[in-house]
Structure 1
Amino acid sequence: MSEENPAEDVIYAVENHIATITLNRPHRRNALNWNAYAQLEAALKSASSDDEVRCVIVTGADPAFCSGDDVAEIMAGPKSFAATRSALTIVKHSPTPAAMAALECEKPMIAAINGAAIGWGMELAIYADIRIASERAKFSEMFIKRGLVPDVGGFYRLPAIVGPAKAAELMFTGDVIDAAEALRIGLVSEVTPHEDLMARAQALAARIAVNPPLALRFIKEGLTRHSYGSPREIGAWAIEAIRRLMETEDHKEGVASFLEKREPVFRGK
């Protein structure tokens, strides 16, 4: 992956010890299909293993950060549904590969959230160590609206970031919150004018990257151990829950209502 090929779903570039990973499907508001998930996983692993990289920035091509799964490609229609369920069965006893690549990245990670971070997009933001938001950013753990549960991020990290009660509220309701509310509850550490976002993220990354790489790695590990523990058990449970919920009528109604742009009617089946 490189900046020379803008047709790629994920752009990966390294400069001055900073790896920048940009989701590059702006026509789909950076919603992720299977190809994009694979490219994101590869980019995160590259950043983690590259000794030249000391800090990582994850962002999206405007107008969005990441609007979650590409519902039309991943969840709608018999072929895409079968492929998704098969993929979840394969990773049944482990969190999703892209999630683990983010969680196991050994380098400090900054999410520069330039727009909507919805569903798995919010999960991706949560996987970062530091979140800086544009004034245009919006957030939602909207899985409940599709009859599903979050990936490992919602259960594993969100309660430690915003507190158990606020995490429960966000997951139970699927409400959308703006950048100001995200700052108020501690989901992000800074809100900037949209045009200043990347400059602010790059400046912070540069301040981090001048420090000794091994110490940075141990600090990140220590913070993870203190705040979160191990993600693998909760991640495996979340994948099994998603796999089962994908068989329900409520999940199918959540997908259909999204594609048909109407309010869903859930029946508990």
Structure 2
Amino acid sequence: MTTDDVLLTADADGVRTLTLNRPKAYNSLTVELKERLLAALREAAADDAVRAVVLTGAGKAFCAGQDLKEHVGLLQAGDPAPLRTVADHYNPIVKTIVDMPKPVISAVNGPAAGAGAAFAYASDLRIAAESSNFLMAFANVGLGPDSGAAWTLQRLIGYGRAAELMLLARTVDAEEALRIGLVGEVVADAELAERAQAVAARLAAGPTMAYSKIKGVLTLAAESTLDEALAAEEEAQGALGRTADHTEAVEAFVAKRKPNFTGA
């Protein structure tokens, strides 16, 4: 494990775990943490040895969103940096998560608010601890959504519920999050890390090239015509049909054995 001031990185079984590490500040996002996270996500995307990514938080929170103390301090000092953070940090982070050519799992270990919640929404899978909750409180500070939340949240739970959560800034606990499809699974707090690692390890041992294509086709199909979606599926199947993983899967099926996927 590599340890620094604000981010922990650990590798095991093809899984890279990125842990936001400002527990006393509920892992709120400073410029340093945003820059470290963006760099770490890009490194994970480019590293062929990384076959799945887990994003989580240290301590009792997943991520409280923007560090408002730093934000206000910089604004009062006349520093324009806070006004650029959406373009410089949040948008690239979310794009890197969504475009990651391997599965991303958010292990939501506590409160997730603002941009922190949006990072979870952008992930492919969300596993939540019983103590977790989600909050879109942008309206409370006179702002609109950022970090892709306007795009990701309504794709998870629909326009009506997304509008309700953003306009009313209403907190959603883990039980409701599971019921409305915001998360896929809720587990006891003490079991979260182990469960997230188990799911990530399963994905890391799978056909990662197929996972990449699945992510791409789903993203395209969410806002395309049927003909465009069919064409994208056809292209993906054509490419995947020529992979070593597909050949291995067919041979393993015939031989009645477990396939050994390599991501090739």
TM-score range, shorter chain: 0.7 to 0.9
Q: Which residue of 2 aligns with 1:165?
A: 160
Structure 1 contact 74–81 (Cα < 8 Å) conserved: no
- Report the alpha carbon displacement of residue 75 of structure 1 after superposing the two structures with TM: 3.0
Q: Distance in 1 between matches of 2:154 and 2:109?
A: 23
Of the three residues 76, 79, 87, the one matched with 2:77 is 79
- The structure that has the greater radius of gyration is 2
Say if 1:41 and 1:102, in contact at 8 Å, map to a contact too: no
* Post-superposition offset of 1:209: 1.2
Total equivalences in the alignment: 223
TM-score, structure 2 normalization? 0.79
Q: Larger deviation: 148-157 or 38-47?
A: 148-157
Distance 1:55 1:178 in 2: 27
Secondary structure of 2:5 counterpart:
coil
Tell me how far 1:95 sits from its aligned partner. Answer: 6.4
Instruction: Give the 3 Å change call, closer, same or farther, for CA 14–60 of structure 1 in structure 2.
Output: same
More RCO (CA 8 Å, sep 6+): 1
Contact 1:13–1:20 (8 Å) recurs in 2: yes
Displacement of 1:228 in angstroms is 5.7
How does 1:194-233 map onto structure 2 within 5 Å?
A: 194-227=189-222
How many angstroms apart in 2 are the aligned matches of 1:123 and 1:4?
25
Aligned to 1:46: 43
Residue 266 of structure 1: aligned partner: none
Change (3 A) 1:11 1:194: same
How much has 1:103 moved relative to structure 2? 2.2
Higher mean alpha-carbon deviation, 12-21 vs 59-68, is at 12-21
Alignment partner of 1:75: what SS?
helix
In 2, Cα distance between equivalents of 1:80 and 1:35? 19
Question: How far 1:81 sits from its partner (Å)?
Answer: 5.8
1:40 partner amino acid = L
Instruction: Give SS of 2:63's match.
Output: coil
- Equivalent residues of 1:58, 1:109 under 8 A apart: yes
Cα displacement (A) at 1:152: 4.0
The residue type equivalent to 2:82 in the other structure is T
Compared with structure 1, are the counterparts of its residues 66 and 198 closer, same or farther at alpha carbon in structure 2 (3 Å cutoff)? same
Match in the other structure for 2:98: 103
CA deviations over 1:214-265 (Å, ceiling 9, x no partner): 1121112112222367xxxxxxxxxxxxxxxxxxxxxxxxxxxxxxxxxxxx
Q: Which amino acid aligns with 2:48?
A: D
1:188 partnered with 2:183 = yes
After superposition, the C-alpha distances for 1:80-127 in whole angstroms (9 at most, x for unaligned) are 763212455xx39x9622222222222111100000001111101101
Match in the other structure for 1:70: 67
Distance in 1 (CA, whole Å) between partners of 2:136 and 2:53 is: 24
The correspondence for 2:136, drawn from 141, 158, 170, is: 141
Q: What per-residue deviation string (whole Å, max 9, x for no partner) do you get for residues 173-218 of structure 1?
A: 1111110011111000111000000111111111111112211211
Unmatched segments (≥5 aa) in structure 1: 230-269
Equivalent position of 1:246 in the other structure: none
What SS class does the counterpart of residue 53 from structure 2 fall into? Answer: strand
Q: Using a 3 Å threshold, how does the CA distance of structure 1 residues 99 and 19 change in structure 2: closer, same or farther?
A: same
Partners of 2:113 and 2:137 within 8 A in 1: yes
Contact 2:51-2:103 at 8 Å conserved across structures: yes
Give the whole-Å Cα distance in 2 for the aligned partners of 1:145 and 1:159.
20
**Structure 1 partner of 2:121:** 126
Task: Please identify runs of 4+ aligned residues in structure 1 that moved more than 3 A.
Answer: none
Give unpaired runs (5+ residues) of structure 2. 225-264
Cα 1:135–1:81 shift into 2, 3 Å: farther
Aligned in 2, Cα 1:49/1:180: closer, same or farther, shift over 3 Å? same
